Amino acid sequence: MEVNKMNSKYEDVIIGLEVHIQLTNLKTKLFCSCNNEYRGKEPNTHVCPICLGLPGSLPVINKISVEFATRLALALGCDINESFWFFRKNYFYPDMAKNFQISQYNKAGGRAFADGGKITIKLNSKKKELQLNRIHLEEDPARLVHKGSIATSPYALVDYNRSGVTLIEIVSDPVMNSPEEAREYLKQLKSIVQYTEISDLDLDGSCRVDANISIKGHARSEVKNINSFKEVERALKWEIQRQKNLLKRGKELIQETRHWDDKRRVTIGLRTKEFEKDYRYFPEQDLVPIEITKDFIEQVKKKLPEMPNARAKRFQKDYQLSEFDSEILVLDKDIADFYENGVKSEKSFGPDEYKQYCNWLMGDISRWLNENNNVIKETKLTPKHLVDLIKLINEGEITGKIAKTFVNEMMKGTPILEIVKKSGKSRIADKNKITKIVEEVIKENRDIVNDYQKNPRALEALIGKCMKKTKGQLDPEITRKIVLEFLKK
Ligand code: ZN
Ligand code: MN
């Protein structure tokens, strides 16, 4: 029911996304040798005549940018164009010192970096292939800093450190039909980008999304500069509602550019949409055409790691995990690497432990990471921690319940045996010890024991009392047996 309701809510919605990704793993900018890493640096210190657009300066292409774009194109299954040249996209705005952005253009004889490609998503356990239009390289504009909201700020500050940083723009076809599909699309894209090792999308400002949204048969609006993947779903929902409300009131929609205000969580009309001709695209004469040989592509291909889709299939085979588990596990490359390092390091592990290891990673560990807004490589948890933990549980040294209380200490890097020792929480399986505790509990809780004749559930209450006395250390099976023996007396 829920699913049907959702489909009908959005069945006439059309969404296309333009995702800008900064290649944060580069050392230098796209056309100059300025340091690419501008975050946390003094404003306007990572600049030179080229990225400031001073007259007479000449841009030179960063070869590694081209290699990174090739990696992404291969990973997304795009067709790479063997030759292309850059274009000037003209517009007048303070974030662009030259008054044009060096970009690529797929018309007027120009070509994108690569055409086509696809991203496969899964929603409500249904797979859908989302067709990409193209990907291209371009330079990032400077960073504008506003006081408060962009709409009311009395001034804008410009930091040119970001100017000229390499962006890859990934343009989808208008093939998404709900904000949820867009969210899944971005989740998969983020994963693929992580696997290609071209960018760290967890860095603030490393991705920006422009979303084209329309209701079938009506003009579309373009919501610009949604500054994180998380915000996209929210912005789309809001914008769809706005358009539907207008139509309901009998108004017609206009083609316009809107801005997502992530503080007020609304879209604001900025200007009616500029049309492509307003950008006066023309070839960038200061850069030579780029040729990409088959040989170069082959070399890049060889260096590419296994991609998440293939890896999920292999995880099902190698570790007998379900399709569901495998697909979630491979999404974050660091988690998947951690998993493989762990399960491969212990020869005695088989399918049961593979599943246990997966459950720990996707359960308690992921929950801890979410709650602490952290990523696994920033913690001191090692693959061996989980190996040791699972072995102790399976050997009966600690109960699974107690193991869960170790997570905080584990994340600090404390070895498992040390945690067990410090906590004094190893499992108690010794019959004599358990009998003594049961005896005490029976003595102290005569009323519950008497209640047992009428109410068999009093058994659970007594077991609970035993557990409470020992902070959950008693082996539950043995304890149950001994309490029952006492009750029969
Ligand atoms: Zn520069
Ligand atoms: Mn762009």
Closest ligand to C-alpha of residue 169 is 2
Q: How far is the CA of 279 from the centre of ligand 1 (A)?
A: 24
The pLDDT tens digits of the residues spanning 198-241 come to 999 999 999 999 999 999 999 999 999 898 888 999 999 999 99
Selected residue with higher pLDDT from 351 and 471: 351
Specify the range with the lowest mean pLDDT, choosing from 18-22, 275-279, 373-377: 275-279
Tell whether the model's pLDDT for residue 7 goes beyond 60.
no
* Distant-in-sequence, close-in-space partners of 79: CB < 8 Å, separation ≥ 6: 114, 115, 116, 117
Which of 64-78, 317-331, 462-476 is least confident? 462-476
How many whole angstroms from 57 Cα to the centroid of ligand 1? 10
Q: What is the pLDDT of residue 437?
A: 92
Q: Which ligand is nearest to the CA of 87?
A: 2
Q: Which residues neighbour ligand 1 (ion) by CB within 5 Å? A: 32, 34, 48, 50-51
Q: What is the pLDDT of residue 22?
A: 98
- State which H helix or E strand residue 89 sits in: strand 87-90
| Percent of the chain topping pLDDT 90 | 74
**Which whole number is the average pLDDT over 128-150?**
93
Ligand 2 centroid to residue 294 C-alpha, Å:
27
* pLDDT (0 to 100) of residue 431: 87
What are the counts of helices (DSSP H) followed by strands (DSSP E) for the chain? 18, 17
List all residues 6 or more positions away from 419 whose beta carbon is below 8 Å from its beta carbon.
406, 409, 410
Ligand that lies nearest to the alpha carbon of residue 279, given by its number in the listed order? 2
Per-domain residue ranges of the chain: 2-301, 306-423, 431-488
pLDDT at 9: 64
Q: How far apart are CA 312 and CA 328, in angstroms?
A: 8
CATH architecture of the domain formed by 431-488: Orthogonal Bundle (1.10)
Is the pLDDT score of 69 beyond 60?
yes
Q: Which ligand is nearest the CA of 32, by number? A: 1
| Per-residue pLDDT at 274 exceeds 70 | no
Burial code of 412-430, b = ≥16 C-beta within 10 A, e = fewer?
eeeebeebbeeeebbbbbe
Q: Which ligand is nearest to the CA of 208?
A: 2
Name which of 154, 156, 155 is nearest 145 in CA terms.
156
Ligand 2 centroid distance, CA of 158 (Å): 19
pLDDT for residue 276 is more than 80: no
pLDDT grade for 317, boundaries at 50, 70 and 90: very high
User: Which three-class secondary structure string do you get for 294-363?
Assistant: HHHHHHHHHHCCCCHHHHHHHHHHHHCCCHHHHHHHHHCHHHHHHHHHHHHHCCCCCHHHHHHHHHHHHH
Q: Is the pLDDT of residue 74 over 60?
A: yes
Burial class (CB in 10 A: 0-12, 13-18, 19+), 326: buried
- pLDDT above 80 (res 372): yes
How far apart, in whole angstroms, are the C-alpha atoms of residue 89 and residue 24? 23
Looking at the chain, how many residues does it have? 489
In 3-state terms the chain splits into helix, strand, coil percentages (rounded to 5) of 45, 20, 35
Return the closest-CA partner of residue 186 out of 105, 123, 273, 142.
123
Edge-first strand order for the sheet with 282-283 is: 100-103, 87-90, 282-283
* Ligand number, closest to the Cα atom of 104: 2
Contact 404, 364 (CB under 8 A): yes
pLDDT for 429: 80
**Where does residue 148 fall: left (phi above 0), alpha (psi -120 to 50 degrees), or beta otherwise?**
left
CA-angle at 395, arms to 394 and 397, nearest 5°: 105
- The structure tokens 């030259």 sit at 98
**Distance from residue 466's CA to the centre of ligand 2 (Å):** 65
Question: pLDDT value at position 94?
Answer: 87
CA of 317 to the centre of ligand 2 (A): 41
456 — pLDDT class (breaks 50, 70, 90): confident
Q: Which ligand is nearest to the CA of 164?
A: 1
C-alpha span between 260 and 269 (Å, rounded): 9
Q: Give the whole-angstrom CA distance, residue 287 versus residue 243.
A: 43
- Res. 358: pLDDT tops 50: yes
The pLDDT of residue 8 is above 60: no
Instruction: Convert 137-160 to b/e letters by CB count within 10 Å (16 or more is b).
Output: bbbbbbbeeeeeeeeeeeeeebbb
- Which two three-digit tokens encode residue 418? 């040390």
Number of the ligand closest to the Cα of 36: 1
The predicted-structure confidence for 390-435, as pLDDT tens digits, reads as follows 999 998 888 888 899 899 999 999 998 888 888 777 778 888 889 9
Q: Which protein residues have a CB closer than 5 Å to ligand 2 (ion)?
A: 169
- From residue 158, alpha-carbon distances to 201, 303, 474 in Å are 23, 38, 64
Which residue did the predictor score with more confidence, 420 or 131?
A: 131
For residue 5, the model assigns a pLDDT of 44
Residues 6+ apart with CB under 8 A from 414: 422
* Mean per-residue pLDDT of the chain: 92
More reliable by pLDDT, 272 or 484: 484
DSSP state letters, 176-242: B-SHHHHHHHHHHHHHHHHHHTS--TTSTTSEEEEEEEEETTS--EEEEEE-SHHHHHHHHHHHHHH
Ligand 2 centre distance from Cα of residue 195 (Å)? 23
What's the token pair of residue 315? 């995880």
Question: How large is the average pLDDT for residues 91-103?
Answer: 91
Q: What is the pLDDT of residues 289-312, one digit of tens each?
A: 999 999 999 999 999 999 999 999
Alpha carbon of 25 to ligand 1 centroid (Å): 17
What secondary structure letter does DSSP report for 277? G
pLDDT digit string, tens, across residues 22-66: 999 999 999 999 999 999 999 999 999 999 999 999 999 999 999
Distance 202 CA to ligand 1 centre (A): 24
Q: How far is the CA of 207 from the centre of ligand 2 (A)?
A: 11
Cα of 315 vs centre of ligand 2, distance in Å, is 37
pLDDT for 171 equals 98
How many CA atoms lie within 13 Å of 265's alpha carbon, on the beta-carbon side? 7
Cα 453 to averaged position of ligand 2 atoms, centre (Å): 76
